[in-house]
């Protein structure tokens, strides 16, 4: 039974990596890319790499378990990617500012702790549960996505208000679809 479950998990991880590669090719093949396209491409690349590393390490095909441990910190990147994507869509900027790098700091600190802090503590003893590393990392991982979703919602609300002030027709311009994605775990219901 568990072997079948493992096969299903590895199939899902491989399909996720392949799907991410396909989406990345579509995004990069788009003409006239803007900043939000590049942010989305980076986000999809990180997700695809995350799935691929999990698949390869799980199959024993590549690398030490420390790769999987660092890979476990990828949830710390999901909130920042959402926020930076929304910011790129709503601001009209052509480049990311240096302040954007601050959003990567939690993942960087987490990865550095896992690579150097735990490596100094002893030999590679296999994958560890990311939620057992420390209480601070658990709080950061569990709180990061909701905090960034709320910050993204604020940006989207501000964008919607500016859109209402400037345009008589807001359909498609107010990014309502993105608010649904950012704040609800399931798809929105259609109105009758």
pLDDT at 74: 85
What total of structural domains would you count in the chain? 2
In this structure, is residue 153 part of a structural domain? yes
Q: Are 152 and 120 found together in one domain?
A: yes
Q: Are 33 and 82 found together in one domain?
A: no
Q: Are 18 and 81 found together in one domain?
A: no
Distance CA 22, CA 25 (A): 5
In this structure, is residue 70 part of a structural domain? no
What number is the average pLDDT over the span 128-137? 68
pLDDT above 90 as % of the chain: 21
Q: Give the pLDDT band (50/70/90) at residue 115.
A: confident
Distance CA 111, CA 107 (A): 6
Q: Per residue in 69-80, pLDDT tens?
A: 777 788 889 999
More confident site: 190 or 42: 42
pLDDT at 181: 59
Q: Give the pLDDT band (50/70/90) at residue 111.
A: confident
Other CB atoms within 10 A of residue 104 CB: 15
What number is the average pLDDT over the span 89-116? 84
Q: Are 45 and 121 found together in one domain?
A: no
């Amino acid at each position: 039974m568990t072997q079948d479950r493992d096969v299903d998990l590895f199939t899902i991880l491989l399909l996720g990596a392949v799907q991410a590669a396909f989406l990345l090719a579509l995004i990069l093949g788009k003409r006239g890319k803007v900043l939000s396209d590049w942010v989305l491409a980076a986000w999809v690349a990180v997700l695809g790499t995350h799935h691929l590393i999990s698949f390869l390490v799980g199959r024993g095909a590549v690398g030490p378990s420390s790769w999987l441990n660092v890979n476990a910190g990828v949830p710390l990147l999901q909130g920042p990617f959402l926020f930076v994507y929304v910011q790129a869509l709503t601001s009209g900027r052509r480049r990311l500012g240096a302040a954007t790098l601050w959003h990567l700091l939690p993942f960087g600190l987490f990865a550095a702790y896992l690579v150097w802090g735990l490596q100094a503590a002893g030999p590679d003893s296999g994958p560890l549960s990311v939620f057992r590393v420390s209480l601070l990392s658990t709080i950061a991982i569990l709180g990061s996505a909701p905090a960034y979703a709320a910050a993204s919602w604020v940006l989207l609300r501000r964008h919607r208000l500016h859109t209402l002030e400037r345009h008589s027709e807001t359909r498609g311009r107010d990014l309502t679809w993105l608010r649904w994605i950012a704040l609800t775990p399931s798809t929105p219901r259609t109105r009758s």
